[in-house]
Amino acid sequence: MAILPAIDERNAAFIRAQRIFFVATAPRGGEGHVNLSPKGLDSFAILGPRTVAYLDFVGSGIETAAHLRENGRIVFMFCAFEGPPRILRLHGRGDVVEPGDAEWDSLALRFPRQEGVRAIVRAHLTRIADSCGYGVPLYRYEGERSQLAEWASRKGPDGLVRYQAEHNRKSLDGLPGLRRLGSDEAGAAGEAQPSGGPGGETAR
């Protein structure tokens, strides 16, 4: 294992080459539920040598956002499923930027336009480390799934707001989720104007 001072060009290229990454958070209490979520859909951005962010899509859970609001802890994992084995972990402190927040417009422009975005999760990294990844199997990438964008389109902006109001107010452990539920500011990233979107996990 090697501890790295920052995301340099080699590590940035490795991150960009991965089609999937994983995000883990947990509540402060020892009895709460740890959450681990897979992510894809060209949703990750490197903002600086020690700052990253990703698009958070509407889903049936709100675990990541709720945990970050409570304690800020977050870790990302990138695995090489093709080519030489490698694992890269990014530990840090995160926050959640929602449509209508002062930083939303500038952050949204760092991503391609996507349907179904409810927030942007940003993290300032405190530890960057890689390891061998010898135990990770080889997989072949076939393509992105289309269901999330199709679901968001069918729901429409009003339907997405209603869905979030029903499913994204509280985490599994009762922690508060999104701050702006009920507003008409549900977001599509990649545009300076706010919009909204679907999700794809049971707990996010």
- Summarised one tens digit per residue, pLDDT across range 90-145 is 999 999 999 999 999 999 999 999 999 999 999 999 999 999 999 999 999 999 99
Give the whole-angstrom CA distance, residue 185 versus residue 195. Answer: 6
The one-letter amino acid code at 61 reads G
Global pTM value: 0.89
Q: For residue 192, what is the DSSP state?
A: S
**Are the C-beta atoms of residues 194 and 99 closer than 8 Å to each other?**
yes
- Could you give the count of Cα atoms lying within 13 Å of 126 in the half-sphere of its Cβ? 8
Q: What is the reported pLDDT for 183?
A: 41
Residues 155-164 have pLDDT tens digits of: 999 999 999 9
Return phi, psi of residue 125, to 5°.
-80, 135
Go through the domains of the chain in sequence order and give each one's CATH number: 2-167 (2.30.110.10)
Give the whole-angstrom CA distance, residue 185 versus residue 97. Answer: 12
Residues 54-82 have pLDDT tens digits of: 999 999 999 999 999 999 999 999 999 99
Distances (CA, A) of 146 to 16, 45, 100, 199, 203: 20, 21, 27, 12, 20
The pairing of strands 73-79 and 35-39 is unpaired
Sequence-separated (6 or more) residues with CB below 8 Å from residue 124: 50, 51, 92, 93, 94
E-only strand ranges, the chain: 2-4, 21-25, 35-39, 44-48, 51-57, 73-79, 87-97, 117-131
